[in-house]
Structure 1
Amino acid sequence: MSEQDTSYLKQLDGIRFIAVSLVLIDHWSEETIKLPLGFLGVCLFFVLSGFLITRILMNAKQKDDLLERSHGFSLKQFYIRRTIRIFPIYYLSIFVLYVLNVPPVRDKIIWCLTYSTNIYIAIHESWLGVIDHLWSLAVEEQFYLFFPFVVFFIPARYLTKILFGFIGLSVLIRLVLYLKGVDWMASYVLMPTCLDAFGMGGLLAYFFYHKNNKVKAFITNKVWLLVSLLIYIAVVIISKQISTGQNIITIVFLRFFESVLSVFLVGNAAYSFSGFMQKLLENPISVYLGRISYGLYIYHNFVYNFYHSSPSHPTVKLLNKLPFIAQHLPLKMLFLYMLTVLVATVSWYLIEKPINKWKDKFGY
């Protein structure tokens, strides 16, 4: 196994920084930004997850084969390591919100504890306020439940076919839901409707792992990156011209083209951007914010809702006495970003980083 297969890819932390920043800007823009930046940010996370998880699992499977051991060992290690990384601050956040009786956590506690808030949103066609954003974490957890079994226990020669199948199936499900008149939320938040993003990320990982030079040349060709960006912009413009609300373009096809653009971004970062993008993605600030992006994502909605629902709190009082911040959205968003970074930094050093060290005990 080469060092490249298991090495840390620095620029991917920069991609995480871009993805989480797109989500935060979209969620805090108070609908002044009419572009689907949050959609793109979440999709970028899904493609990145598909890439990283597929790469990890293929490495683990190869090691199992070399050591002539059962894949059950690596399966167990995978779930333990994922649990260590993901569960602590997620369940801590749910616990704190439950104790403080922040709506709607107590009423929806089972959905929260079982990582199924996305299913609730799809069934009831209703968002969940302060815990809206947890739907995407539910999607990832549901993907993790079955995908390792696909990689470990289905012959490797079928993997690319399955991943292409994910892409086609996901688009087809969204189309069927649209034609059936199902609310757009279901197409947006259900795990099967997000599989094209995971599938494209998985395909990128497969070709990256097997060092397919033709795919590398294609992915790193900046012409195709530009083409994917222009197509994505065109799809957004066309969808806006069709309707200001949800339509067949946004419901069925937007995530597909978001995923295509995301593949080129993740792929170029995996193979290492040069020039301006290298400086952006490898900047120490970008790398650090990417490293704590999980915390940024979890806490950002809590910070925003705290600011808007706690006018008597000293911090909010202070901000309201500074009208040049409170009354100017860009400055307020910057303030909230800095506050979220502070919360995520405390979380990283006091909770996440110490707990992550336990992963060393459960290597592949």
Structure 2
Amino acid sequence: MSQEKKETYFSQLDGVRFLAVALVLVDHWLTERNPFPLGHLGVTMFFVLSGFLITRILIQSKLKDDQFGRSHWFSVKQFIIRRSIRIFPIYFLSIFALYYFDVPPVRETLVWCLTYSTNLYIAINQHWMGTIDHLWSLAVEEQYYLVFPYLILFLPTRNYLKLLWIMIAISIGFRLYFYFQGSPWLIQYVLMPTALDCFGLGGLMAYYFTFKKEEVFEKIANGRFVILSFIVYAICVTLTQIQQKETHQIYNFGNLVAERFLAAVFCFFLIAKAVAGYSGYVKWFFENPVCQYLGRISYGIYLYHNFVYNYYHTPQTSIVLRGLHKIQRIAPYFTLNLGFELLYFLMLTVILASLSWYCVEKPINYLKKYFTY
């Protein structure tokens, strides 16, 4: 691996990707049997990680533009092309396949799917979208990419900190506004502006890593902060659930306003420590070959998992559930065995994501070498 590659690739982040997607899968497949907001935490982890990686790429691009005396529009073009190569192929292939097989509600919402605006559809109509409801988070990221690169590339670097803190404040402000307005929870959950604190915290991490590595970053990349921030987040979740039971109201200030920010703070410290490098058991977990591989194909795992199985929308006649029931008839021990069912869904999802990685994503990703910054 070249020196430049070593400086831009953080191996433990693949382990973080695996952790994030695992939280989402467990949450989506267990549904009401899981009382904890694991899926929310997993998506928040992805947002903070994207905030770090994208901001760091853009800052490095801006510095190179200044060094070589080239226009920042060069880096805008490279960023858009490279992101498109990484994200679009399997996304649009999935949409077209779902359209062909008439999987609802793809045909009725095709324009929303093709324009990465399913989150707006959910917010406007105030209901989920069945087997494609998880695409809202991909829409949020894409909408973020439409605006943020221009801010980093064309603003003076001295304004970066102000920008990132404003993003965090705007996000919390939007959630407070929706909360006090009594707006449906789906609106504040799926909109891009209400997730800006996640991206902003990731951006802060990238800023400190690039410009203040010794003064700030090495201090925040501390395992004690990871533990402390998780405790604070866990206390918030616990208090929220206690209030839910006492008031018989599902949504309150805790899960509508505070949880996402505290989850993002925890993810901020978790990822910062992974960038610096964990040791011991955590290092083994994040760097073992299985976690590394599953983290590498995590985009496919996330994209396909709801098509493999969705507790609310997968019909009993689906090929996935027919296969599961056949195994259970042959081996009755696995009937009503939740652990086996989760393993079965995971195995199918990983197989699908692996085929996607080797047949589509990896070959197309080679094109990115022609569009270096």
TM-score range, shorter-chain basis?
Answer: over 0.9
Structure 1 counterpart of 2:266: 261
Residues 310 and 361 of structure 1, relative CA distance in 2, 3 Å threshold: farther
Q: Deviations over 1:152-199 (max 9, x none)?
A: 111111111110111111011001001111101111100000000000
CA contact (8 A) 2:50 2:199 kept: yes
CA distance in 1, matches of 2:170, 2:266: 19
Map 1:3-82 to 2 at 5 A.
3=4, 6-82=7-83
CA contact (8 A) 1:239 1:249 kept: yes
Give the drift of 1:124: 0.9
Count of matched residue pairs = 363
CA contact (8 A) 1:6 1:59 kept: no
Secondary structure of 1:182's partner? coil
Q: Deviations over 1:221-262 (max 9, x none)?
A: 222211101001000001001115111110011000000000
CA distance in 1, matches of 2:215, 2:243: 38
Give the drift of 1:359: 0.6
Which range moved further: 300-309 or 272-281?
300-309
Give the drift of 1:10: 0.3
Give the drift of 1:305: 3.8
Structure 2 counterpart of 1:200: 201
CA distance in 1, matches of 2:57, 2:328: 47
Q: 2:302 aligns with which of 274, 286, 297?
A: 297
Q: CA RMSD in A?
A: 1.6
Residues 44 and 127 of structure 1, relative CA distance in 2, 3 Å threshold: same
Structure 2 counterpart of 1:335: 344
The TM-score with structure 2 as length reference comes to 0.94
CA contact (8 A) 2:28 2:310 kept: no
Give the drift of 1:312: 6.1
CA contact (8 A) 1:94 1:105 kept: yes
Give the drift of 1:318: 2.1
CA contact (8 A) 2:218 2:276 kept: no
* Counterpart residue identity of residue 328, structure 1: N
For the pair 1:172 / 2:181, whether they are aligned, the reply is no
Q: Deviations over 1:12-37 (max 9, x none)?
A: 00000000000000000031110000
Structure 2 counterpart of 1:351: 360
* Counterpart residue identity of residue 323, structure 2: T
Give the drift of 1:213: 1.7
CA contact (8 A) 1:71 1:152 kept: yes
Give the drift of 1:310: 5.0
Q: Which runs of 5+ in 1 are unaligned?
A: none
* Counterpart residue identity of residue 108, structure 1: T
Secondary structure of 2:314's partner? helix
Q: 1:270 aligns with which of 271, 275, 280?
A: 275
For the pair 1:311 / 2:317, whether they are aligned, the reply is yes
CA distance in 2, matches of 1:317, 1:341: 20
Q: Which runs of 5+ in 2 are unaligned?
A: none
For the pair 1:107 / 2:108, whether they are aligned, the reply is yes
